[in-house]
Amino acid sequence: MIGLLIWLLMIFLDNRVRSDDQVPEKLGLSYLGGLTSNREIQAGSVSTTGLASQQLADIGMNLRLTGVLPGTWQAPKGAVLLVTSAQPVEGKTTVATGLAAAIARGGRSALVIDGNLRQPGTHLAFGMPPASFGLSGLLKTTGGENLDAAVQRSNIPGVWLLPGGTTMKDSTLLLDQRLPGILAQLRKKTDWIIIDGPPLLSSAEASLLASMSDGVALVVDSRHDKVAVLLRAKAILRSLTDTPIGVVMNRLSRRRRNPYFAVAFAEDAAFDATAPGPKYTRHGDTHGDTRGNGHNGTNGQRPEPVVAAPSPSSPNHYGAPVGPGPIRPISSMPMDFPVMQPNPNPPSPFPAPRRMDIAPPQS
């Protein structure tokens, strides 16, 4: 009897986010999906097959369905997603690189930016050597003539990497001044831009990167993260930007994962799952954001849950046939293939060599 009481007390005092259906209840954020295992996505070998690939494909689809990223009719090219976490070592690099690989599997191009300039390490996930010239070098130079020297082609067709380069202890001022122009060039040349950012609670740069992004994916380690810590991270973001936020659960226990819980109530769930509406506001745009109160678009009201039941015929087990089509698995292609693209599509702006051509593609 005493043991039962102790067990119940431990459950009562446990304030971690342990399962996907607790995300809207405890955090009030969109649920994008979860990874039950990191074994298929390891440093030096970004896997694009198996269960992890399917889960990452679902996350990519839910980014659009929940309104964390604008729909394809609003931003058909160059959507910028910041992947971050409250604290270090929660799997944000795993999610960022794995999501890029899943996007490439669907025939889209993706560029991963190492935004953690205090401790660059995204290149390790691709098995690539450290770069002497990367984002830090671009921030210190003027003009776009050096962009082709910084962006590298990864070992995954359709995925490119802008490495961090040399370490920078304080890059806030340079990021604020130079990164918007760099992103403006890159938006024209790739379908997705994924920033592997620093942790929110240990770096001011993370909030700055969020203000320049179209959406934020907050990676949560289900084994360790406390609700109070996550709410603090959310408050930091909300105090500085109204960029939509979604949660990705990492290291999620299989028995705690609800396969029918595709996406929880979202701040903009109904916005992106319906017909095209008002224009989406990007960093530096002037056409305005008409999403209600500027933070969650709900005017204090809690939206209804958006739940997609799994369909056996769908390649994604959430199977929601709404909005953008599901990410399609495709067979591997040789490295000399210029880029994996949807059909029909104009020639890729990224050439086969490792160096990028700055000039936009000719129509």
CA 25 to chain centre: 22
Instruction: Output the pLDDT for position 115.
Output: 94
CA–CA dist 5, 16 (Å, integer): 20
Q: How many Cβ atoms are within 10 Å of 97's Cβ, its own excluded?
A: 29
Task: Say how far apart CA 124 and CA 120 lie, in whole Å.
Answer: 9
Mean pLDDT confidence for 167-185:
91
Band of residue 279 on the pLDDT scale cut at 50, 70, 90: very low
Task: Please write the tens of the pLDDT for every residue from 209-254.
Answer: 999 999 999 998 877 767 888 889 899 888 888 899 999 988 876 6
Residue 297 above 50 pLDDT? Answer: no
| CA dihedral over 38, 39, 41, 45, signed as positive or negative | positive
Is residue 136 over pLDDT 70?
yes
Judge whether residue 76 has pLDDT over 60: yes
DSSP helix/strand/coil, 126 = coil
Q: How confident is the model at residue 292 (pLDDT cuts 50, 70, 90)?
A: very low
- Name which of 127-141, 177-191, 230-244, 268-282 the model is least confident about: 268-282
At 287 the pLDDT is: 37
Lowest mean pLDDT among 28-32, 176-180, 197-201, 205-209: 28-32
Q: What is the pLDDT of residue 1?
A: 67
Whether residue 347 has pLDDT greater than 90: no
From CA 323, how far away is CA 13, in angstroms rounded?
40
Task: Please determine, for residue 13, whether its predicted confidence score (pLDDT) is greater than 50.
Answer: no
Domains belonging to the chain, first-starting first, are 16-273 (3.40.50.300)
Helix (H) or strand (E) holding 205: helix 204-211
Q: What pLDDT, on the 0 to 100 scale, is given for residue 362?
A: 56
Would you say 265 and 235 are in contact if contact means Cβ atoms under 8 Å apart?
Answer: no
**pLDDT score of 306:** 32
Angle of CA points 23, 25, 26, to nearest 5°: 70
pLDDT averaged over the chain? 70
Q: List beta partners, residue 138.
A: none
State the chain's maximal CA–CA distance in angstroms.
75
pLDDT for the residue 143? 58
Highest mean pLDDT among 99-103, 193-197, 327-331, 334-338: 193-197
Distance CA 203, CA 169 (A): 10
Asked if residue 91 lies in contact with residue 9, where contact means CB atoms within 8 angstroms, the answer is no
Beta bridge partners of 111: 160, 193
Lowest mean pLDDT among 91-95, 140-144, 183-187, 289-293: 289-293
Q: What percent of the chain has pLDDT over 70?
A: 57
Q: What is the pLDDT of residue 251?
A: 80
Answer for the pair 110, 142: CB distance below 8 angstroms, yes or no: no
Q: Taking the alpha carbons of 352, 108, 67, 91 in that order, is the dihedral positive or negative?
A: negative
